[in-house]
Amino acid sequence: MAKVLILIFLALSIRANCTQLIEYCRKPPALFVFGDSFFDPGNNNYIKTTTLDQANFWPYGETYFKYPTGRFSDGRLISDFIAEHAKLPLIPPYLQPRDYDSYCGANFASAGAGVLPETFQGAVIDLRMQLKYFEKEVNAAQLRKKVGAFDSKMILSNAVFLFSIGTNDYISPFVLKNSSMLPSHQEYIAMVIGNLTQVVKAVYKRGGRKFGFLNLGDLGCLPGLRISKPQNGSGCLEEASTLAKLHNEALQNVLNKMKNHLKGFKYSLYDFNTFLRQILNHPSRYGFKEGEKACCGSGHYNGIFSCGGKRGVKEFELCKNPNEFIFWDSYHLTESVYKKMARQMWYGPSKGPYNLTQFFQCL
């Protein structure tokens, strides 16, 4: 009789757990976001930093939000569009007070952040600190308190982790005019990739299994770096573009290694670089009229980082229609470009085995 009761209890428990699992799979997976200004929805609004690393003033946000949110664009970012594709609300800044009636994840990204702590040190939330915020966010006791025991077990194994990081590590020497102080390209890239790998593995140890990455764009073609060429010459700053190319090759290699050595590790790698080059070379093919000059800024190509007039140079130019431009300001893209990129990330193709559509299914 005791054995029968035990079997009945086990059957009921399994049925209850399956019912919970079915219900859980009706919810989109949580989205955790790490990175820089391509993903920051306004975390830098809440830290002591400079206007160089903030976008909480007009005309930022003017196209979609109609007010500045802290996003470095005229509207939404790639991470916002991914959330929309996944039928999640926009993931707010981690540092912004939030309620947990419906847990959707967290966004730790910080404009100006790099993989290396030394990148714009003291003014941004570097990747290591973002990891610490994540570990605090998903502390077992804290997560159970927010979402309940069952969901807390499922969230991390089914969550999607997005990374956009590295750009600032490579452009900061040019922005700060000390590129001659860099170690050899290979040494520097190895430092960046090594530190990124450590953070990804730390998230993996916490239970993360589904990772989405962007590789780096053609950095030398950013308006803010184009003007670094002698006498404002035409064309891109090749040294910066070369660093991006070498980084992207190293990133692809290390992701393949992690896939082969970490059980259950899955990744999607969006080729940000190739698509950006395509639209820069053929803007009209993608619905744009201007592929070199930024919508907002001053100087040649509007490459002086003056958008909003709160970064030393008060006078700046603002285009009438950001949708016609690829670049919003000296270093960032318009909402129209981010929307196209997010759609590609969602549906593929990917330089990794998966696209994001697959990641947001209950695997």
Q: Residue holding tokens 């035409």?
A: 234
**Bridge partners, 329 (sequence order):** none
Task: List the one residue out of 218, 220, 200, 219 whose CA is nearest residue 210.
Answer: 200
CA distances from 108 to 12, 100, 128, 190, 268 (A): 40, 16, 11, 24, 20
Q: Which of 329, 330, 336, 350 is catalytic?
A: 329
Rounded Cα gap, residues 185 and 266, in angstroms:
29
Report d(CA 224, CA 99) in Å as an integer.
38
Beta-carbon contacts of 181 under 8 Å, excluding residues fewer than 6 positions away, are 173
266-270, strands of its sheet edge to edge: 105-107, 31-35, 160-164, 210-214, 266-270
Question: Is residue 332 annotated as part of the catalytic site, yes or no?
Answer: yes
- Residue 128 burial (CB count, 10 A): 15
The identity of residue 279, as a single letter, is I
Number of H helices, E strands in the chain: 12, 7
Output the 3-class SS for 256-269: HHHHHHCCCCEEEE
CB atoms within 10 A of CB 221: 24
* Set 37, 268, 298, 306: catalytic member: 37
Angle at 268 between CA 263 and CA 273, to 5 degrees: 140
- Note whether 224 and 303 are within 8 A (CB): yes
Q: Residue 143: which of 91, 106, 93 has the closest Cα?
A: 106
Structure tokens at 162: 């997005």
CA–CA gap between residue 70 and residue 92 (Å, rounded): 11
Catalytic position from the list 110, 218, 271, 332: 332
CB atoms < 10 A from the CB of 301, how many? Answer: 22
Q: Which residues are catalytic?
A: 37, 329, 332
